[in-house]
A and B are shown apart, each in its own frame.
Chain A
Amino acid sequence: MTTSDLPPYPPIDPTTFDLIIIGTGLPASLISAASSAVGKSVLHLDPNPFYGSHFSSLSVPDLSSFLNSHSATPSNTHDENLTLTTRPLFSDVEISNFAPEILDKHSRKFNLDLSGPRVLFCADKSIDLMLKSGTSQYVEFKSVDASFVGDGDGKLWSVPDSRAAIFKDKTLSLLEKNQLMRFFKLVQGHLSNNESEESENGAKISAEDLESLFVEFLTKMKLPPKIKSIILYAIAMADYDQENMEVRKGLLKTKDGIDRLALYIASVGRFQNALGALIYPIYGQGELAQAFCRRAAVKGCLYVLRMPVISLLKDENSGSYKGVRLASGQDIFSQKLVLDPSFTVPGPLASAPCEQIQDSFQVLSLIDDKVKVARGICITKSSLKPDISNCLVFFPPRSLFPEQVTSIRVLQLSSNLAVCPSGMFVLYFSALCDEVNQGKKLLHAALNALLRLHVSGNAENSSTVRSEDTEHVKPTLLWSALYIQELTKGQFESVSSTPMPDGNLNYNDLLDATEKLFQNMYPNEEFFPETSEPENSEEDAGLTLET
């Protein structure tokens, strides 16, 4: 992995670009593809030997070393005043291997997401963008088969998210089915009336209701607690406890809730061969960043991986940014620079004349500074549900322990997504937290509910540790990595930086932030202008879905 082992690069030519981007995370790749598409000359560098940075999908050893290297406090040895320093964005990394004999054999056959759990909604902005930009031709998707709501006993209740799912559901009572379906119809009616501007059948949610809290609206609709919880945490995917008035964080308004339901409803059935609302890219989320990089390369962007940047160059007269010095010793110049979130610029740089934009950029900081994401990756040899390979599990607030204020999300993926060897499963966990202990507690609670954890000295096939229901034994944990990730926002200055993966399941907020960043950089350019390439003429035809 160290650069010294590798043969030296030939010098980069030309030496001046419109834009230099360091790091190939998804937002950076989007900027690069978007800038290339509007004719900017772009140099895209990454110190890593792979694409994706914090959004990449890696094998077990690569993932471990990435986590470890990005959690270490860097040594400040350089003397120059504009040395790029890295900041640790991961902390408290715990990697445990309970079955080295199995894993070591296959460790390279995994594509583990650093930013997991993450899925795409069929009607997502990111899908639209991929279709619009022609990136979709580089990625194939598969449906997530099902969603469940979990409880402390590890029981999973399927999420009835469509008419057919409500019909099939075995746990809802008849009246609950009726109530839930009527609520969906109300939302659908509201949405279609909004579209047509004229409310024919009066099925419209009043402006007053739209401004009220979503949870209060659900109560007003007389939905029973179980259904409320399903809608709030498994469909609208609220992060924080909506009913705990002490927390008062991340409370959804009805209109936000309706928007999220609208996305969900529009996703179900957008693609004929997609089973539900959610899809996942084959070979892992890292494919997305890579796809946008390929798109950028097609449009003329120059890529150099395994190329660290040592320092920034300053214009001697104005004191503002003018270029970078590469590890190879070469100096490259550009007007603008976009940095990976793991880099910080220590010294002061004279700001470009755009302070007013800097202010407006604060809008992007949706998240409280303190907030972190606790993430976990687990490998098992059996599925949570015997007949289902790819699924989501939600643990709503208070479902695991009384002080649980955030929702925990779990995504199980199987080998049919080419993320692990066949017969194995990868599970991703995430939850928002304010501090490390809280985050770890959330992860452990969910792990305990779903998996059989290795107790030292216990043989793997111990029949005594069976869960209560004899029909299905909880999967045994083979390997796990738990870590806490900082949330950083994008920054726009003369040197901009891209955001870290957020705590959401999809990329919508990140996409908005990236688009805004792009528009600040190039106020007169369109973020991915409509291409006239024939492959995009028929809208949805561009997306490949494997069934």
Chain B
Amino acid sequence: MHGRPRKPSKPEDEAASAAKAQKLRALQSQFLHNHQNNIYTKEAVELSAKLLEINPESYTAWNYRKLAVEHYLSLTHSDSNPESLNSIFQEELTVAENALRQNFKSYGAWYHRKWVLSKGHSSVNLELRLLDKFQKADSRNFHAWNYRRFVAPLMNRSEEDELKYTEDMICNNFSNYSAWHNRSVLLSNLLKKKADGFLLKEKVLPEEYEFVHQALFTDPDDQSGWFYHLWLLDQTVKVDSPLLVSSWPAHGYDLMLLGDSCPSSPFTSFHSDSGTFPLVLYFNQAVEGVNSSTVSVDCELNTIKDLIWKPLSANNSQTAQVWVTQLNFIDVEPKAYPVEVSLGHSQGIISSSGFHYNHSRFAFRVCVQPVENGSAKRLGGDVMLWSDEKFHIYDAHSQESSPVISLDQLSIQNNHETTASEWRTEAIAKEIDHFRELLSLINCKIGKLTLARLLMAHDTMICPSNKTHFKEVLELYGDLMKLEPSHVQYYKDEHSLVLLQQVTSSKESLLNHCFHYRNLTSSHIGNPICLRLNNLSLSRVGSFDKLLWVQMLDLSHNELQSIEGLEAMQLLSCLNLSNNVLCSFTALEPLRSLKSLKVLNISHNEIGAHSIDTTRYLCSSPVSHSAGSEWNPGEIINADTDVKSYWEAYFILKDLNLTQLDIVGNAISDEKFKSFLIKILHALKWLDGERLH
């Protein structure tokens, strides 16, 4: 239990415990003998009870008793006397109870009791009294709470009664994680069932906020209430049915599909050698079931039929937040083709919590330009240099007016829930006021963190809002980094995500980071815009929903350890990740999905510098089963020794058509490794700035 000092053992205690151990060993060996020989005599079974009373942690003994019960059941089956059946199970309940008296946190004993009750031969009426006893002894005992959740439905105890019980327990002592947690479980069920009095979230949640405030304000140092508050916040913010947050191409977009260097809007033009381009759907949460029957793409071209949708997820699952397919405009008559995408007209796009996507549609136009001959050599023909002097601030005014429109269209506006969610914004605004007040009194880390989360939730809810809180939130995270250095990485990550939201929140702020890349020696490309997010101390990247259009991205001179989520940027052809702290190839896994990537700079990172790479375990590898069909077992066995020693690099890079790679300044980068790279990257023309033959 809590807060009780441990007494040092006295010599006589030690002697006693030695004697006890002696006895226990004798008992144990006798018991094991019985177990191995399947002896289920009365004496043998009683022996196991004795053993369990002394040592409830003896899992073998619990198992033995289950076998013994089954043995007896098989014997009594013929005469089918309910009395004897009852007494068998009653005996088990007694043994379990005695064991729990010895140690009320014994997993085996609680589990055995569950097992007995699940057989359905015993009365459950005494269970609550037993539980009350254990929960009085230690109100936070999560075993007892777990068991309570198991027993309550068996007894037909209503969830409302159980909810009241959590309230009583919290009133007795509100630092009780178990009680708060059970409350969240019960409320979720009641809300889901739309039980009487729990029909409307907007009625229930404000009362819960009020309740948890009592705990948070009385003792902000106690964390249990904060966890419940976080759950409430999630319940408030969470929109049940999945939404499409953005897409590429976006609604109303005029896409110039360039065969050649016609100068055009850098935002809307897309250069494709093959005449294909990706269609990307970006949802607010992971969904499954995106396929040609749930998403129809209508265009006059026959080629756009039976599209194959791919989930962009790291763990190879069939649920993902981002889905992509390739649209094919090869050898078509140069003209404008209207395309209409309609989602969810037949049900099937489902969120992980089981909610369906509501029907929606968007449309764009693809303008296919005439292809001129002799334009095959483009990017990659010349080395791409990331030096600052190559970049020129993008001046929207001097350019044509189209990007201004198109930038506004970059995000889809979700008006679906605005009327329904008035109570949500109201609840969040109220919370913000409360915590501002609390922080005016005391300096409270978790209060600051909560306020930061609330402000961000507020900003995302009233999406096109003029009044954003980015500055305040960034300051809060800045404070937190100083206040609590032990969690600095978490705060830095959050800070990075907020910073990126700020950058992408408006046209003006985004344009500040948009640059023209001008290489004097070439004039070929339709001058794509480079988004430069360098030198921002980013430790994480986010806001990808607003960045689907980006073809050149500079993330150099940050503090990135991972590029999680970058796979959504399907148009990316040039990526600069130099001077970060990426420490392995496995951290680059998102690159595998970026089929257009041509130019990659990962120089001056820490790849190969760390002998132990923890990201390896998160990432699919030849030895992990998650890699599935992508790995041909023969491939690696038959491969030469280089592949074996550099399998991570091989795995990440083998399917990319890189023409230029910079890897200098990493521990792994030696001559041997370079020659390995040249071997596997067939299209590579430049390695570390040197032209290859």
Contact call B171/A175, Cβ cutoff below 8 A: no
B646 within 8 A of A: no
Indicate whether A166 reaches chain B with its CB closer than 8 angstroms: yes
User: What residues of B have a CB within 8 angstroms of the CB of A174 in the complex?
Assistant: 213-214, 217, 434, 437-438
The closest CB in chain A to the CB of B213 belongs to: A174
**Contact between chains at A181 and B437 (CB < 8 Å):** no
Q: In whole angstroms, how far apart are the Cα atoms of A164 and B170 in the complex?
A: 9
| B217 close to A175 (CB less than 8 A) | yes
**CA of A185 to CA of B219 in the docked complex: distance in angstroms?**
9
**Given the complex of chains A and B, what is the CA–CA distance between A163 and B215 in angstroms?**
9
Output the nearest chain B residue to A222 by Cβ-Cβ distance: B441
Report the Cα distance A174→B219, complex, angstroms: 11
Q: A167-B215, A167-B218 are in contact. Are A178 and B438 (CB under 8 A)?
A: yes
Q: A175–B437 contact, CB under 8 A?
A: yes
Interface residues of A in 425-468 (CB under 8 A from B): none
Question: Of A164, A168, A178, A185, which one neighbours B217 at CB under 8 angstroms?
Answer: A178
Query: Cβ of A177 < 8 Å from any Cβ of B?
Result: yes
Q: A458-507: which residues lie under 8 A (CB-CB) from chain B?
A: none
Residue numbers in A under 8 Å from B215 (CB-CB):
167
Residues of chain A lying within 8 A (CB to CB) of residue B31: none
Q: A174-B217, A177-B218, A178-B220 are in contact. Are A167 and B174 (CB under 8 A)?
A: yes
A182 contacts the other chain (Cβ, under 8 Å)? yes
Given B219, B220, B434, B438, which contacts A163 in the complex, CB threshold below 8 Å? B219
Q: Contact check, A164 vs B441: say whether CB atoms are below 8 A apart.
A: no
- A179 pairs with B441, CB closer than 8 A: yes
- Tell me, rounded to whole Å, the shortest Cβ–Cβ distance linking B136 to chain A: 10
Question: For A179, what are the chain B residues with a Cβ–Cβ distance below 8 Å?
Answer: 441
Q: How many residue-residue contacts, CB under 8 A, span A and B?
A: 41
How long is the Cα–Cα vector from A172 to B434 in the complex, in angstroms? 15
Q: Chain A: which residue is nearest B175 at the CB level? A: A163
Give Cα distance in the complex from A272 to B173, angstroms: 14
Whether B442 is near chain A, meaning CB under 8 Å from some CB there, is yes
Question: Closest CB of chain B to A485's CB: distance in Å?
Answer: 40
The reply to whether B218 and A166 contact each other, CB–CB distance below 8 Å, is: yes
B171–A164 CB distance below 8 A: yes
Q: Is the interface of B mostly helix, strand, loop or mixed?
A: helix
CA distance A166 to B219 in the complex (A): 10
Cα–Cα distance between A179 and B213 once the two chains are bound (Å): 14
Distance between B674 CB and nearest chain A CB, rounded to angstroms: 57
We find that the number of chain B residues with CB closer than 8 angstroms to chain A is: 17
Q: Are A167 and B441 in contact (CB under 8 A)?
A: no
Q: Mark A154-168, 1 if CB is under 8 A from B, else 0.
A: 000000000110111
B172 at the interface (CB under 8 A from A): yes
Residues of B close to A164: CB separation below 8 A: 171-174
Name the CB-closest residue of B to A173. Answer: B217
A175-B441, A178-B438, A179-B441 given as contacts; is B219 within 8 A of A168 (CB)? no
A-contact bits for B435-451, CB 8 A (1 contact / 0 none): 00110011000000000
Q: Is the CB of A182 within 8 A of B174?
A: no
Q: Are A178 and B213 in contact (CB under 8 A)?
A: no
A208 to chain B: closest CB distance in Å?
Answer: 24
Q: How far is the CB of B173 from chain A (nearest CB, A)?
A: 6
Which interface class (under 10, 10 to 19, 20 to 34, 35 or more) fits A?
10 to 19
Out of A163, A167, A177, A182, which one reaches B442, CB within 8 Å?
Answer: A182
A182 to B220, CA, bound (A): 10
Which of A244-272 touch B at CB < 8 Å?
A: none
A99 to B214, CA, bound (A): 45
The smallest beta-carbon distance between A529 and chain B, in angstroms, is: 27
Name the distance in Å between A181's Cβ and chain B's nearest Cβ: 5
Closest A residue by C-beta to B440: A175
Contacts of A167 on B, CB cut-off 8 Å?
170-171, 174, 214-215, 218
The reply to whether B441 and A163 form a contact with Cβ atoms under 8 Å apart is no
Complex interface: chain A residues within 8 A of B437 (CB): 174-175
Query: How far does the alpha carbon of A185 sit from the alpha carbon of B218 in the complex, in Å?
Result: 11
Q: How far is the CB of A145 from chain B (nearest CB, A)?
A: 14
The interface residues of chain B lying within 8 Å CB-to-CB of A163 are 173-174, 218-219
Q: How far is the CA of A355 from the CA of B437 in the complex (A)?
A: 64
Question: Which chain B residues border A178 with CB–CB below 8 Å?
Answer: 217-218, 220, 438, 441-442
| Cβ–Cβ < 8 Å partners of B442 in chain A | 178, 182
Question: B214 — which chain A residues lie within 8 A by C-beta?
Answer: 167-168, 174, 177
Residues of chain A within 8 A of B170, CB atoms compared: 167
Write the A386-428 contact mask toward B (1 if CB under 8 angstroms, else 0).
Answer: 0000000000000000000000000000000000000000000
Q: Which of B202-238 contact A (CB under 8 A)?
A: 213-215, 217-220
A182: chain B residues within 8 A (beta carbon): 442
Find the A residue at minimum CB distance from B437: A175
A294 to B559, CA, bound (A): 80
Complex CA distance for A179 and B441, rounded to whole angstroms: 8
CA of A179 to CA of B214 in the docked complex: distance in angstroms? 12
Contacts of A181 in B (CB 8 A): 218-219
Q: Residues 163-205 of chain B: 1 if any A CB is under 8 Å from the residue's CB, otherwise 0?
A: 0000000111110000000000000000000000000000000
**Chain A hits for B438, CB < 8 A:** 174-175, 178
The complex places the Cα of A346 from the Cα of B607 at a distance, in Å, of 103
Taking CB atoms, residues of chain A closer than 8 Å to B173 are: 163-164
A166 to B222, CA, bound (A): 14
Instruction: Name the residue on A nearest B219 (C-beta).
Output: A181
- Least CB separation from A182: chain B residue: B442
Chain A residues with Cβ below 8 Å from B213 are 174
Question: Chain B residue with minimal CB distance to A168?
Answer: B171
Instruction: Report the minimum CB–CB distance from B642 to chain A (whole Å).
Output: 58
Alpha-carbon gap, A175 to B219, bound state (A): 11
A172 → chain B closest CB, angstroms? 9
Q: Which of B171, B215, B217, B438 has the largest count of A CB atoms less than 10 A from its CB?
A: B217
The contact string, 1 if C-beta is below 8 Å from chain B, for chain A 166-207, is: 111000001101110110010000000000000000000000
Q: How far is the CA of A178 from the CA of B437 in the complex (A)?
A: 11
Considering the chains assembled together, what is the distance between the CA atoms of A163 and B213 in angstroms? Answer: 14
Complex CA gap A182/B218 in Å reads: 8
Encode contact with B along A333-376: 1 for CB under 8 Å, 0 otherwise.
00000000000000000000000000000000000000000000
For the complex formed, measure the closest distance between the CB of A434 and the CB atoms of chain B, giving whole angstroms.
41
Distance between B231 CB and nearest chain A CB, rounded to angstroms: 19
Q: Which of B174, B215, B218 has the most CB of A within 10 A?
A: B218
CB of A147, distance to nearest CB on chain B (Å):
17
A191 CB, nearest partner CB in chain B, Å? 16
- The residues of A that contact B218 with a CB separation of less than 8 Å are 163, 166-167, 177-178, 181
Q: How far is the CB of A331 from chain B (nearest CB, A)?
A: 59
The docked-state distance in angstroms from the alpha carbon of A182 to that of B217 is 10
Give min CB distance, B661 to chain A, whole Å.
55
A185: chain B residues within 8 A (beta carbon): 219
CA distance A168 to B213 in the complex (A): 11
With both chains docked as a complex, state the minimum distance between the C-beta of A276 and any C-beta of chain B, in angstroms: 13
**Residue interface bits B675-691, CB-to-A below 8 A is 1, else 0:** 00000000000000000
Return B132 CB to nearest CB of chain A, in Å.
14
Separation in Å of the A346 CB from the closest CB of chain B? Answer: 60
Instruction: Name which residue of chain A comes closest to B216, CB basis.
Output: A174
CA distance A179 to B173 in the complex (A): 19
B441 neighbours in A (Cβ, 8 Å): 175, 178-179
Question: Could you tell me the distance in whole angstroms from the C-beta of B207 to the nearest C-beta in chain A?
Answer: 14
Whole-angstrom distance from the CB of B512 to the nearest CB of chain A?
41
- B192 smallest CB distance to A (angstroms): 28
CA distance A175 to B174 in the complex (A): 18
Please report the C-alpha to C-alpha distance between residue A179 and residue B438 in the assembled complex, in whole angstroms. Answer: 10
Please, which residues of chain B bring their CB within 8 A of the CB of A177? 214, 217-218
Q: What are the 8 tightest A-B residue pairs by CB atom distance, in nearest-first order?
A: A174-B217, A178-B217, A177-B218, A166-B218, A177-B217, A181-B218, A167-B218, A167-B214
Instruction: Give 11 A-B pairs besides A163-B219, A168-B214 with Cβ atoms closer than 8 angstroms.
Output: A164-B173, A174-B213, A174-B214, A174-B217, A174-B437, A175-B438, A177-B217, A178-B217, A179-B441, A181-B218, A181-B219
Q: List 7 A-B contacts (CB under 8 A).
A: A166-B218, A174-B213, A174-B217, A175-B437, A178-B218, A178-B441, A181-B218
Q: Which B residues lie at the A interface, using CB under 8 A?
A: 170-174, 213-215, 217-220, 434, 437-438, 441-442
